[in-house]
Structure 1
């Protein structure tokens, strides 16, 4: 249903779904409700000697898969269709672009990748509960990395995630972990106002200016 919405209304509806799912999980005793669930770690397979190293390798492989998918989407007809939807959904529909299918594809793929990225966390902590699982800071952090790095190229979210993650760790160690959301919010406002195309967009503009 939310896929039929456009612009800011689609974003608001997507965030609303997060709160609906959190409320559902909090009141569902089968999955532990508000108290959460204790998880038992599976045995560490060979050749890993610790659970942490195994999760590191798994997450590194998932990162490679996610980047590969992003690059394929950008250079394929799917990416061209999504860019057409971004510029003007009405014009894309008139040109024969299957807008609803592409939006559904984008939501499914991005949701699957985000779910896969979050799957190792409860196994690492041996515990899962709704308040941390549906924490809005994860969504803001994911969006922040893409906006800061630049959403016009598959390399942008990688650059943004590295810079934002490093800055958050520095702030956590030197100041406080509670300031992380504030840092992300300030950076998002600055980049949306001053550099809407992100770091890669700034780099591209400077490169073109030097050539001229």
Structure 2
């Protein structure tokens, strides 16, 4: 086997990376095909929400899953991303790439600030601090009349390019590109030295420090990366909805979903948030159409309780256990 690896010049990790890259290309290609073949606009509106949750869950998992610091305030970053984009569109008519970049930079700075002030505490104290961040961010937005305050803000964002086939199709492709990029980043973090360091501090921060792992710096980086990803996920919402309000941008449902989806899919791997988001968000969208949109939070709560009680390692953990049993 060693001879074969040296002869071909390709390691198992290189093979997995190639397969992952081909999978990303296949997903993007499928998205393009769907925008050209499907005519029902609801498919794109619902698909945007599902894919958005893939991006949000993946962004949350960088800090909450890899580092083990449970963030109860993902909507603080998501909402900041929404309102940064709204401000730029209203003030300058900025194009989508500019609003995404600005939202990401703002989210990263907010993540650094939050990390610097709160990462010296752990457990419930850190969780309380992240909840307080949501309250503060929403309160600030409520008191900015230029952004609509509590009443909300209606905007006329730039139209989608002619080649996109329409605004819903364009927004689906934008969010799909963001989600694929986030998953690729999460996978890189997982297999990199940063990922190994985060796993070490999650297992035992004291032991990791004794081994020379720069734990505080790694936590700050994780906060910045997670904050930037969550804010970027919120930036396109202005182009998707054309109307924003604090209650939606900083919603409890989004926070609950962002936490539940990685827990259901599995926090230890980049695959877990993707599986959890696809499963839960699809069920929620189906329930909204067939039964009632009010059942979304109930669905999340019931499914989360079941997984926490029966499969605390999520779907990925179940698959790993089944694989070990078959191997035995």
| TM-score when normalising by structure 1 | 0.94
Distance 1:176 1:44 in 2: 31
Equivalence for 1:181: 297
Equivalence for 2:187: 71
Q: CA deviation at 1:8?
A: 2.8
Distance 1:46 1:171 in 2: 33
- Contact 2:118/2:129, CA 8 A, preserved across alignment: yes
Unaligned runs of 5+ in 1: none
Question: Which of 98, 111, 120 is residue 236 of structure 2 equivalent to?
Answer: 120
Q: CA deviation at 1:162?
A: 0.7
SS at match of 1:42: coil
Q: CA deviation at 1:31?
A: 2.1
SS at match of 2:160: coil
Matches within 5 A, 1:4-15: 4-15=120-131
Equivalence for 2:324: 208
How many residue pairs get aligned? The number is 212
Task: Judge which range, 37-46 or 52-61, deviates more.
Answer: 37-46
Task: Judge which range, 73-82 or 173-182, deviates more.
Answer: 173-182
Question: Which of 129, 143, 148 is residue 27 of structure 1 equivalent to?
Answer: 143
Distance 2:322 2:289 in 1: 34
Supply the RMSD in Å over aligned alpha carbons: 1.3
Unaligned runs of 5+ in 2: 1-116
Question: Which of 93, 97, 100 is residue 209 of structure 2 equivalent to?
Answer: 93
| TM-score when normalising by structure 2 | 0.62
Equivalence for 1:196: 312
- Contact 2:157/2:238, CA 8 A, preserved across alignment: no
Equivalence for 1:2: 118
Greater RCO (CA < 8 Å, at least 6 residues apart) = 2
Give runs of ≥4 in structure 1 deviating > 3 Å. none
